[in-house]
Chains A and B, each alone.
Chain A
Amino acid sequence: MADHPSSPSTSSSAKATAHTASIFGKQAVLEAFAGHPAVSSLEHLLIDAKWDRQELTLSVAPQAILDAARALKAAGYNFLEDVTAVDWYPTDTPSAPRFQVNYSILSHSRKERVRIITRVLGDNPRLDSMTALWPAANFYEREVFDLFGIHFAGHPHLTRIMLPDDWNGHPLRKDYPVEGYR
């Protein structure tokens, strides 16, 4: 997800082939998807973006995740499908934080989905909960909390959902041994 600033000439060709070729970088996506409701509603929050394998991924800062979700909901993306995470261990720097949290949001009327991602540092990872916006986030955020150990502030009941309450560790973290702690 490196940012590749494009010159005006390449971005205009990207626009012509917006639905076949991959487009990387915030500026290139903003130009290729000018007028697209998801992209334009998040324009001020975007830190990175890509159009890859026919999928639109918009990246925002962790503190802006709730604002981004609100803006998307207002733009007609009415259905929160899924919340999940990816652990990029051992990568953990301010420019490339360890945890990537994905929100898959669908628009029933536009018949398309957009993936919002944000990255949080490995030390005490914390995000705002989306439960007030979409109650569907309840179980998904509990699952991410259980298996990745990411906290969601404002969640009504953030406890483990799959594993017993006294379980040690978060199994989907990459530094968790496959056999478990013994």
Chain B
Amino acid sequence: MSQNPVLDLETQESDRPSSFVRSEATMQDATGATLAGIRHAEEILVPAIEDAARGATSHHQHGSDPVVSQTMVLNMGPQHPSTHGVLRLVLEVDGETVVSLAPDIGYLHTGIEKTCEAKFYNQVTPLTDRIDYLCPMTNNTAYALAVEKLLDLEVPERAQILRVLLNELTRIQSHLVWLGTHAMDIGALTVFLYCFREREELLRIFEAISGQRMMGSYIRIGGVALEPPAGIYDRMRSFLNDFPEHITEYEGLLNANPIWMGRLKDVGHLSAEDAIALGVTGPALRASGVDFDLRRDMPYSGYERFKFNVPVSNGCDVWARYLVRMQEMRESTSICHQALDLLATMHHQPLHADAPKILLPDREKMKTQMESLIHHFKIVTEGFQVPAGEATSSVEAPHGMMNYYVVSDGTSKPYRVHMRNADFANLQALETMCKGRLIADVVAVIGSIDIVLGAIDR
């Protein structure tokens, strides 16, 4: 890769900093599988598509020796099955080695943030389901927490515990999709079938509790939508009792599997410094050795009442991310058991905040009491006003840190809603993890950061 015509092009466009000069310099140590030393933040540049494409076209322009110094542009997606949605990657490859990589996103952009500004606060909840569609309950929770902060609304303990329970079941459900698809990308199809068998039971539990398998909108501002149906806790308990055995079953299929190990170990290296500089959160951050989990470190919705461990690994590779998520499923199971124990002691507590002008009244009361009927009519037709101000909620979603930022101007519609999803920032780290590795490793790395394009594009 010496005397590449790319460098000529660099001098022509010197006003625009490009990743190319750096990629030349770091190629040697990157192909040697280790990135030497700690890099400074200024050295980490996420390349754009033009950066990735420029190098490969330049040898035609210069008519240089066709055998040496040639790189090729490879388009991957947006229909590629292993990109987990509509992610498009533009890769510059030297043989099979990735020289640079630029994600192209926006194929699923639906303007949800703009739509929120035209809805009443309650009407935003169903929109939040559709952002990260693998963890709708977590999105609901994050949005509800932000609006409750603006309203200064106290949520009853029982509703908080129920939220924790559902958030953790959602985490298990999301991790099952991750494990199944990740393993399928690597070639282990069996795991996918087993994971989706367990996920099916979870979706049925969600359907029983909210009426929908995925887009439940169950967690509402001020509490939850409905009283959970009779017998649902027993059903959850029976799922949770069996689940640790299933995790062992998946591990039995994978842990000693030489192909699985070969494809995951020492692939996609991401140091703790790079992870922090690139905004990586969640299991990917913890697999780089940073011990930070919002549930423990900045607790919300009553997480301070639960005892659980935060799995951390210093492996920094795809394998470490696999280990962390597998352990997280076990911890989530334990949190769910604790939540069920707590819920069993508080049967008669309410599930909604005491705010008749904000929360829809009980259906029975609405049909029989004049005042409830008026409240219902007012809330449905003109919403409720929220005191002016701004609030941020922050929750630990299955993919990492999820923040909802809500601005109110005192009216019944949010002035601005912004979602910070882990997936968006985690995607930026893809290049750092893939540079100098083979194309096949890109597939493994995408699986390991567990992205959902709905959350990235919004």
Q: With an 8 A cutoff between CB atoms, is A40 at the interface?
A: no
Q: With an 8 A cutoff between CB atoms, is A4 at the interface?
A: no
In the docked arrangement, what's the CA distance between A79 and B41, Å?
Answer: 12
Q: With an 8 A cutoff between CB atoms, is A159 at the interface?
A: yes
B106 touches A104 (CB 8 A): no
Which residues in A have their C-beta under 8 angstroms from that of B420? 81-82, 84, 104
Which residues in A have their C-beta under 8 angstroms from that of B51? 157
- Within 8 Å by CB of B149, from A53, A82, A163, lies A53
In the docked arrangement, what's the CA distance between A164 and B457, Å?
Answer: 13
**Nearest-neighbor residue (CB-CB) of A173 within chain B:** B114
B457 touches A53 (CB 8 A): no
Which residues in A have their C-beta under 8 angstroms from that of B44? 135
Which residues in A have their C-beta under 8 angstroms from that of B1? none
Known: A136-B425, A156-B18, A156-B48. A78 touches B403 (CB 8 A): no
> A120-159 CB contact bits vs B (8 Å, 1 = yes)?
0000000000011111101110000001000000001101
Distance (whole angstroms) from the CB of B115 to the closest CB of chain A: 8
**Nearest-neighbor residue (CB-CB) of B280 within chain A:** A136
Q: With an 8 A cutoff between CB atoms, is B405 at the interface?
A: yes
Which residues in B have their C-beta under 8 angstroms from that of A115? 392
Distance (whole angstroms) from the CB of A115 to the closest CB of chain B: 7
Known: A81-B420, A161-B105. A132 touches B41 (CB 8 A): yes
- Within 8 Å by CB of B114, from A82, A112, A132, A172, lies A172
Known: A86-B415, A108-B290. A102 touches B405 (CB 8 A): yes
A171 touches B403 (CB 8 A): no
**Nearest-neighbor residue (CB-CB) of A180 within chain B:** B111
Chief secondary structure at chain B's binding surface: mixed
In the docked arrangement, what's the CA distance between A171 and B111, Å?
Answer: 8
Q: With an 8 A cutoff between CB atoms, is A80 at the interface?
A: yes
- Within 8 Å by CB of B277, from A81, A135, A162, lies A135
Q: With an 8 A cutoff between CB atoms, is B226 at the interface?
A: no
Q: With an 8 A cutoff between CB atoms, is A55 at the interface?
A: yes
Distance (whole angstroms) from the CB of A113 to the closest CB of chain B: 7
In the docked arrangement, what's the CA distance between A102 and B417, Å?
Answer: 13
Q: With an 8 A cutoff between CB atoms, is A44 at the interface?
A: no
> B113-155 CB contact bits vs A (8 Å, 1 = yes)?
1100010000000000000000000000000000001101000
A136 touches B106 (CB 8 A): no
In the docked arrangement, what's the CA distance between A102 and B420, Å?
Answer: 12
**Nearest-neighbor residue (CB-CB) of A73 within chain B:** B41
In the docked arrangement, what's the CA distance between A86 and B278, Å?
Answer: 24
Known: A79-B276, A82-B420. A171 touches B114 (CB 8 A): yes
Q: With an 8 A cutoff between CB atoms, is B389 at the interface?
A: yes
> B286-320 CB contact bits vs A (8 Å, 1 = yes)?
00001010000110000000000000000000000
**Nearest-neighbor residue (CB-CB) of A139 within chain B:** B428
- Within 8 Å by CB of B403, from A81, A131, A132, A160, lies A81
In the docked arrangement, what's the CA distance between A86 and B407, Å?
Answer: 8
Q: With an 8 A cutoff between CB atoms, is A182 at the interface?
A: no
B297 touches A111 (CB 8 A): yes
Which residues in A have their C-beta under 8 angstroms from that of B415? 86
Binding site for A on B (CB under 8 A): 16-19, 41-42, 44-48, 50-51, 105-106, 109, 111, 113-114, 118, 149-150, 152, 276-279, 290, 292, 297-298, 389-392, 394, 401, 403, 405, 407, 415-416, 418, 420, 424-425, 427-428, 457-458
Cross-chain pairs A/B with CB under 8 angstroms, 13 sampled? A52-B390, A87-B416, A102-B405, A104-B420, A136-B278, A136-B425, A136-B428, A147-B113, A156-B18, A156-B46, A161-B105, A163-B109, A171-B114
